[in-house]
Structure 1
Amino acid sequence: MSPTKPIQTESDRGVRSGQAANLVGMPVATLRIWERRYGIVAPQTTASGQRLYSAQDIKRLKRLKALVESGYAIGSISRLDDAQLAALEAGRSAPFQGTAQGAAGAAQQELTLAIAGTAIAERIVEDAAELKRLGFRIGPTLAGLEALEALGQRAGDVLIVELSGLQDNVADRIVKAVRGAGYRAVAVVYAFGANSAAENLQLAGVRLYRRPANRCEARQMLRDLARDAGEGLLLPPGGGRQHRRFDERELKAMTELAQKVTCECPRHIVDLVLQLGAFETYSDNCSIETPADSLLHQLLGDISNQARHAFEMALERVAAGHHDATPS
């Protein structure tokens, strides 16, 4: 998608985000998350910075929402153009065929499904045929979030957590329990909750569902999780941060290696290490200054930390006289 396009005045007609969300039939928070994370539309802005959604924007949003409700993951369709979305919409009776990796792909490998919550576990275990079709096998069944936290390790490939109430402190506990554990997909099932807590979990890559009222809703949740797992993406890594291997004085000395090897790679690696370290610090500061997006900035800091650590290992190899800069 192209970046947001400025316009000169507010005379160009359009609707604001609240009205756009009402027309599409979704919460404003969801619209903002989709737009921020996936760039689903590029609404024009007025000179004062007010976003205005055109009729074409509304049409695209409605189409995306319909496809998500029919079984597609928003991340897998957000970059498709209108013609591609129309083609998917025409065939949405078979939703898994439209994604690059769907439930059929996930079913080729067995996925261990861990469940933290006895009530939802009973409902899911009853549907053995659907579990088998999607490639799931039931793994650990835990009493709830407390039991998951006490476990202290990954419980399976895919995780479902059941809650009676979803508050900000509970969302933080869930994120801490799953970040860095290597889950391929995580869902939270809840009865009541705060919008801020729900938004934080969505930013962390967690799917959210109200308690399923019937078997069809429970099956849809399982299909969504199977598709997510089949896309081959792990939940944001998180976990502990790696300490810096070199200070700035040592990094500056490393640039002299360029005189001893036949390329400029040492200097470029040093530049990358410095920039990644600076961005890690910047992201951590943003996490403090903008609490609403704290989880997003924590994730950016985690990724920067891991990338910096990998390049530091590469730099050590170069310093040791090895030309293979691939970290072991």
Structure 2
Amino acid sequence: MNMPQRIEQDRIMYRSGAAARLAGLPVETLRIWERRYSLSEAERSEHGQRLYSAEQVARLGLLKQLVDQGHAIGVLAGLAREQLQAMLSVGAGDARVSGAPVRIMLVGPSLARRVAAERQGLGLEVRASCARLDGVAELGAATGAQVLVVELSELDDNALPLLAEAREAAAAAATVVLYRFCASATIRALRSLGCLVARVPADLGELSLLCRSALAGQRLPIQEAQAVAPPRFDDEALASIAAAGTRLTCECPRHLSELLLMVGSFERYSAQCANRNPDDARLHAQLGLAAGQARMVLEGALTTLAIADGLPLPPPRN
């Protein structure tokens, strides 16, 4: 029955069918998105059904609108509702920036080639490009670029002085910094300087959006690091699942539980490991992030298996 379900404190929760209908999505699409991208931390009913809050339903509606505009769900999935709303506002068009292509200067080893290969539809005009930050001074401000776009896969504090010099030399109205790995403190420092900071987009259509957002002065609250949810299972819960009887002829629940025990232990260990210098700290932060992401994937698999096989599951953590 696709009716909202009231739970404690009079909060209204919606089952998958109702949530999908309110968001304008086919329920099959919602299920695929949840399975592939873990779109939300939906609660579970006592029968294992997903329950969505009004806030989560609103976010699903924003995702639907942006996907209809041509954005890739894989890019959107990790963004908060506020970010999605900002993207939708920008996508609706700003008369100051939505007409002519945005003039950009590209800095980075691969981004210029990717943009050049995408011959049309980006709404970007590359005025100049170079492989390194120290090459911006030679290009100078004569290019007329509106946005300086810098691609630095491994971004750290050592790049900040070079970025400052490049921004001054380019004299662009806005700066977009793209990274694959970066410490949160470095991202905060760049944002405090007025840069728009984001992960290197898989879809170049997102690059156009970022450039227009930066030029319009809209600082999207891009996530500073990939969020890692707290552990779904503690060691006691994993031990209970491993020891529970199962209708399955294989031992997958036990093996998954043991893997999660190992991954969780390493995640905690990496957080406590001694750091001799800032490079050590960054390395252990990346190790902890990788372990946390692996744990979340395994927890999703174990939850699915436990629900299907009637194994004991602990209540959701707040």
Asked whether the two chains share a fold, i.e. TM above 0.5, the reply is no
